[in-house]
Amino acid sequence: MTLVGFDCSGFLQCVYNKTGQSISRTTLPIFSETKQLSSQSQET
């Protein structure tokens, strides 16, 4: 995180840390460690 904000991987790391979980710092491991949701599961 910088004085002006953070990038997408920094945002995900912040969200995961707030929930007591850890996640990698860069996008490639994050992509490998997470699962893709189907379009149906994304509907609210």
List pLDDT tens digits, range 9-35.
Answer: 888 888 999 999 988 888 888 888 888
In angstroms, the CA 34 to CA 3 distance is 28
Q: Specify the residue for token string 């460690």.
A: 33
Q: Examine the pLDDT at 1 and tell me if it is beyond 60.
A: no
Q: What pLDDT shows up at residue 3?
A: 67
Which sequence spans correspond to the domains of the chain? 1-32
SS3 at position 5: strand
Q: Which residues pair with 5 in a beta bridge?
A: 2
- Predicted local distance difference test score (pLDDT) of residue 19: 95
Task: Report the C-alpha gap between 4 and 8 in whole angstroms.
Answer: 13
Residue 44 has pLDDT above 90, yes or no: no
